[in-house]
Amino acid sequence: MSGDEAVARGAWEAGVGVAAAYPGTPSTEILENMALYKEDVYCQWANNEKIAVEIALGASFGGLRSLAAFKHVGMNAAADPIFSAAYTGVNGGMVLVSADDPGCWSSQNEQDNRLYAPHARLGMLEPSDSQECLDFTKAAFELSERFDLLMLLRMTTRVCHSKSLVEQGERQEHMGKYTANPAKYAMLPANARKRHVAVEEGLAALKEYAETSPLNRMEMNDRKLGIISSGISYQHAREAFGETASYLKLGITHPLPEKLIRDFCGQVEKVVVIEEGEPYLEEAVKALGIFCEGKAYTTRQGELSAARLRAAFGLGEAAESVSSSLTAPPRPPALCAGCPHRGFYFAMQSYHQRLVAVGDIGCYSLGVGEPFHGFDTAICMGSGFSIPIGLSKALEKQGDSRKVFGILGDSTFFHSGFNSLVDAVHAKANVCLVVLDNSITAMTGHQQNAGTEINLMGYQVPAIDIRRMVRSTGLPEERVLEVDPIDQAAMNAAIQKALGDRETWVILSRRPCALLKEVIKARGDLRCEVDPAACKGCKACTKVVCPALTFDAKAKKAVISDPASCTGCGLCMQQCRFDAIRKVGGKA
Amino acid sequence: MITSILLTGVGGQGTILTTKILSAGLAQMGYDVKMSEIHGMSQRGGTVNTQLKFGDKVYAPNIGEGEADLIVAFEKTEALRALPYLKKGGSILMDRKEIMPLSVLTGAAEYPHEADKELEKLVGAKVIPAGEIAESLGTPKSQNICLLGALVKALDLPEFDWEGLISRMVPPKTVEMNLAAFRKGLEA
């Protein structure tokens, strides 16, 4: 069972009644697996992480146990309700799950969300394998209710996506009751001041509990070296140092058990803190007046591994590997064959002299570098529509006549892009905002969003129409252009129109993701074929850089080298001046 | 005693399913097993690595450079790319199948066709033409299960009921073709 699956299982066993999230690697599978228990648990993909936390908070106020999950950067979007909900405390137990991504496997930064716990005044647990993911999730619900605290379960990629053996239990139903209590739940200044006292009392009580909790444990071996660690870092340390060191393995990492730490450090000669990311534990131990080392050995960047620790601490012989004089050609992730985004980027690249493009977070981020140089900046969800406002004002002041194009996807539009669109229209910004609407949240593996007719639990729901939302800003119909991105004539015309004046424009680039099940089914065996007799070997079609199409250098002809992945979108066909490419197959 | 295996290929080749079947088998045999995978961006035509460690007690789930006892590569250049992870004295099991990355398609890089020969010479890599075997069986997609056969043989664990496990874990319609590929892999 993966860590994500185990969290879902643990929450279900704990009797959770409502779970909400916005998808984000490596946290996505938590809600996907939670939805397997939809008979017992109401599950929802919220439009963003703030909304997910608020949905869970409402359920907690209502007396149900609730969970909200997000990737590390999602917690930034959700910070607003979290900091105040920490004061209100809970009715039904409430657990936030943050999946951090040291090493940026699929993220824009590697922030360490443990720092949120002391800042927002949350209790925090850190599991180190799948069994602990299940056990700690259950414990988090109990601690949340016992100490009236919002609990943070902090995971990392290797905990989320590693699989290990898990013993499961049964579900225990948990049904509270809603009772109005504005003094506790309505955070006006007079109430908030009192609740700030209450939350500190809850944390003090949790700290006392942590001193003797089985979630923290000492493993005493050789006492020359004592290692303090938590989460996946403990596993790396345990593997690298084995029984040559003693360990204080912390499961509760906020508040920290001061007496336990002092006790452990008193029993060993030298103390080392091993942790990925920020020196969170190290600084806390130092603040107790205990000498220890940590970041002197490892950096804030990247993941740890046993090998990295062995090298850093000079343990045993350095791992030796073999090297070859050959190098493997780079194989970064790329837009798939038939990807609708390719059509947009291919068309836009002809206008790079006349525009500056701003991107966002999603599959379309893959358009950033070679071969299309799709955009210059990518920061966070929704920023693709707000950065253009400021950037357009900057260019204007400099007398730079280029128009700023903002690019984001349907899910990003619902996440927060719409708010930015409203501001852009209101500001009369000289921008063209493009929604690359592929009818799904694709990058994280096809999660439903507000634009889909089916929700996470598989039920029919009203799909929200992006076009009507855009029109609701009062943008005139003629400046909202809906285009199939594969249709190059139409896409070129749309881009030219938007470049023709200094008004605000919106392009809705609409075509569903080529990998959607229903799209695959409707497509049948539709694909493109190159007629070698007609192909002149001009390579015009290869400019679309599709993984299904190759140029056969020997025959000097283009060839659909991977017909199984070709979707017959026909983008390459539109480049051919000799009618050498045609569509074949497909359902009647 | 822990055995560390790195499986590497290109998105869509079935490395993750192969690793899942292998983990399930090892767990049923009574080993402690941890499997780690990185997915997210890597599935869009990029390199996919899964890592599996088994033994009496496994702590860290991932494998660092110079730590893998065995590398199983589903594609020729991916074997080359994974080479830094190989422990000195470790072995490589690889297919000679070639999948061109975009960097080669756009002419920005060259494909090292002789990588299999180089790895044979360098570390005694064993080349299993699993892709070709699967194609000769008329089921190109069963390349991964063919490699699983070769892998099980390399680990010297052929006596476990792998066929029963495969039958339960692959899509029902593909059981027969996958079993045929598995047997070919065992013989290869």
User: Is A332 inside any structural domain?
Assistant: no
Q: Supply the CATH number for residue A90's domain.
A: 3.40.50.970
User: Is A320 inside any structural domain?
Assistant: no
Check residue B40 and give its pLDDT: 57
Q: Supply the CATH number for residue A292's domain.
A: 3.40.50.920
How far does the CA of residue A255 sit from the closest CA of chain B (Å)?
26
**CA–CA separation, A458 vs A454, rounded Å?**
6
Check residue A257 and give its pLDDT: 98
Domain B2-96+113-187 has CATH 3.40.920.10: yes
Please say if the pLDDT value at position B76 is more than 90. yes
User: Is A559 inside any structural domain?
Assistant: yes
Check residue A148 and give its pLDDT: 98
Same domain membership, residue A204 and residue A57: yes
Please say if the pLDDT value at position A319 is more than 80. no
Which of these, A374, A318, A382, lies nearest to A344 by C-alpha position?
A374
Please say if the pLDDT value at position B43 is more than 60. no
Rg (CA), chain B: 16
pLDDT tens, position by position, A82-97: 999 999 999 999 999 9
Token pair listed for A23: 């998808």
Check residue B117 and give its pLDDT: 96
pTM: 0.94
**Mean pLDDT, residues A477-485 taken together:** 98
Check residue A332 and give its pLDDT: 82
Same domain membership, residue A570 and residue A484: no
Please say if the pLDDT value at position A318 is more than 80. no
Strands A505-510 and A431-437: parallel
Residue given tokens 């984001």 in the structure block: A408
How far does the CA of residue B180 sit from the closest CA of chain A (Å)?
22
Check residue B104 and give its pLDDT: 85
DSSP codes joined into one string, A368-411 = SSTTT---SB--STTHHHHHHHHHHHHHHHTT--PEEEEEEEHH
Check residue A321 and give its pLDDT: 79
**CA–CA separation, A79 vs A53, rounded Å?**
9
Q: What angle do CA A27, A60, A47 make, to 5 degrees?
A: 45
Q: Of all residues in chain A, what percent carry a pLDDT higher than 70?
A: 100
Q: How confident is the model at residue A496 (pLDDT cuts 50, 70, 90)?
A: very high
Please say if the pLDDT value at position B88 is more than 60. yes
Cβ atoms of A78 and A50 closer than 8 Å: yes
**Mean pLDDT, residues A100-119 taken together:** 95
Contact with chain A for residue B48, Cβ under 8 A = no
Closest chain A residue to B57 measured between Cα atoms?
A: A239
Nearest by CB to A545, from B42, B102, B109: name it: B102
Considering only A158-172, A240-254, B14-28, B32-46, which range has the smallest mean pLDDT? Answer: B32-46
Instruction: Test B110 with A306 for CB contact under 8 angstroms.
Output: no
Check residue B39 and give its pLDDT: 66
**CA–CA separation, A257 vs A443, rounded Å?**
40
Same domain membership, residue A128 and residue A112: yes
**CA–CA separation, A559 vs A547, rounded Å?**
11
Closest chain A residue to B111 measured between Cα atoms?
A: A329
Instruction: Test B61 with A322 for CB contact under 8 angstroms.
Output: no
- Is the bond preceding residue A26 a cis peptide, omega within 30 degrees? yes
- Is the bond preceding residue A371 a cis peptide, omega within 30 degrees? yes
Check residue A87 and give its pLDDT: 98
Same domain membership, residue A406 and residue A478: yes
Same domain membership, residue A404 and residue A264: no
Q: How confident is the model at residue B44 (pLDDT cuts 50, 70, 90)?
A: low
Considering only A172-176, A208-212, A270-274, which range has the smallest mean pLDDT? Answer: A172-176
Please say if the pLDDT value at position B42 is more than 60. no
Cβ atoms of B4 and A239 closer than 8 Å: no
Residue given tokens 């690889």 in the structure block: B94
Same domain membership, residue A429 and residue A391: yes
In the beta sheet, which residues pair with residue A551? A558
Please say if the pLDDT value at position A249 is more than 90. yes
A74 against B46, higher pLDDT: A74
Closest chain A residue to B109 measured between Cα atoms?
A: A329
Q: Supply the CATH number for residue A559's domain.
A: 3.30.70.20
- Is the bond preceding residue A512 a cis peptide, omega within 30 degrees? no
Token pair listed for B22: 């292998």
Same domain membership, residue A496 and residue A435: yes
Considering only A230-239, A303-312, A479-488, A532-541, which range has the smallest mean pLDDT? Answer: A303-312
DSSP H/E element including A144: helix A130-147
**Mean pLDDT, residues B68-80 taken together:** 96
Q: Of all residues in chain A, what percent carry a pLDDT higher than 90?
A: 93
Contact with chain A for residue B141, Cβ under 8 A = no
- Please state, rounded to an integer, the average pLDDT across all residues of chain A: 96
pLDDT tens, position by position, B121-156: 999 999 999 999 999 998 888 999 999 999 999 999
Check residue A333 and give its pLDDT: 83
Same domain membership, residue A279 and residue A346: no
Where does residue A262 rank: exposed (0-12), middle (13-18), buried (19+ CB within 10 A)? middle
How far does the CA of residue B176 sit from the closest CA of chain A (Å)?
22
Backbone angles phi, psi at A99, to 5 degrees: -105, 105
Instruction: Assign residue B111 a region (left: φ > 0; alpha: ψ between -120 and 50; beta: otherwise).
Output: beta
Check residue A448 and give its pLDDT: 95
Cβ atoms of A105 and B41 closer than 8 Å: yes
pLDDT tens, position by position, A96-109: 999 999 999 889 99
Same domain membership, residue A170 and residue A35: yes
C-alpha distances in Å from residue B79, one per residue of A79, A201, A382, B185 = 43, 56, 39, 18
Same domain membership, residue A243 and residue A128: no
Give B-chain residues touching A370 at CB under 8 angstroms. Answer: 102-103, 106, 108
A519, A547, A576 — which closes off a domain?
A: A519
Same domain membership, residue A514 and residue A373: yes
DSSP codes joined into one string, A337-355 = TT-HHHHHHHHHGGGTTTE
Which of helix, strand or coil describes residue A53? helix
Which of these, A113, A122, A129, A128, lies nearest to A70 by C-alpha position?
A113
Nearest by CB to B86, from A303, A322, A547: name it: A322
Same domain membership, residue A497 and residue A574: no
Helix, strand, coil in percent for chain A, rounding step 5: 40, 20, 40
Highest mean pLDDT among A127-141, A295-309, A366-380, A574-588: A127-141
Token pair listed for B149: 């056969």
Closest chain B residue to A542 measured between Cα atoms?
A: B106
Question: Residues A205, A207, A212, A214: is their CA dihedral positive or negative?
Answer: positive
Give B-chain residues touching A26 at CB under 8 angstroms. Answer: 40
Contact with chain A for residue B116, Cβ under 8 A = no
Q: How many helices (H) and strands (E) does chain B have?
A: 8, 6
Which of these, A179, A465, A507, lies nearest to A355 by C-alpha position?
A507
User: What b-and-e string marks burial along B137-166, b requiring 16 or more CB atoms within 10 Å of the CB?
Assistant: bebebbbbbbbbbbbbbbbeeeeeebeebb
Which of these, A42, A33, A110, A51, lies nearest to A416 by C-alpha position?
A51
Check residue B107 and give its pLDDT: 77
Instruction: Test A321 with B84 for CB contact under 8 angstroms.
Output: yes
Please say if the pLDDT value at position A588 is more than 70. no
Domain that holds residue A267: 217-313
pLDDT tens, position by position, A432-447: 999 999 999 998 989 9
Scanning A162-302, the segments in alpha helix (DSSP H) are: 182-185, 189-212, 231-241, 258-267, 280-287
Check residue A21 and give its pLDDT: 98
Which of these, A502, A248, A463, lies nearest to A354 by C-alpha position?
A502
Please say if the pLDDT value at position A472 is more than 90. yes
Number of domains in chain A: 4
Please say if the pLDDT value at position A393 is more than 80. yes
User: Is A387 inside any structural domain?
Assistant: yes
Please say if the pLDDT value at position A168 is more than 90. yes
Q: How confident is the model at residue A562 (pLDDT cuts 50, 70, 90)?
A: confident
In the beta sheet, which residues pair with residue A367? none
* CB within 8 Å of A181: residues ≥ 6 apart: none
Give A-chain residues touching B116 at CB under 8 angstroms. Answer: none
User: Is A79 inside any structural domain?
Assistant: yes
Considering only A261-270, A358-367, A419-428, which range has the smallest mean pLDDT? Answer: A358-367
User: What b-and-e string marks burial along A344-380, b requiring 16 or more CB atoms within 10 Å of the CB?
Assistant: bbbbbeebeeebbbbbbbbbbbbbbeebbebbebbeb
Which of helix, strand or coil describes residue B89? strand
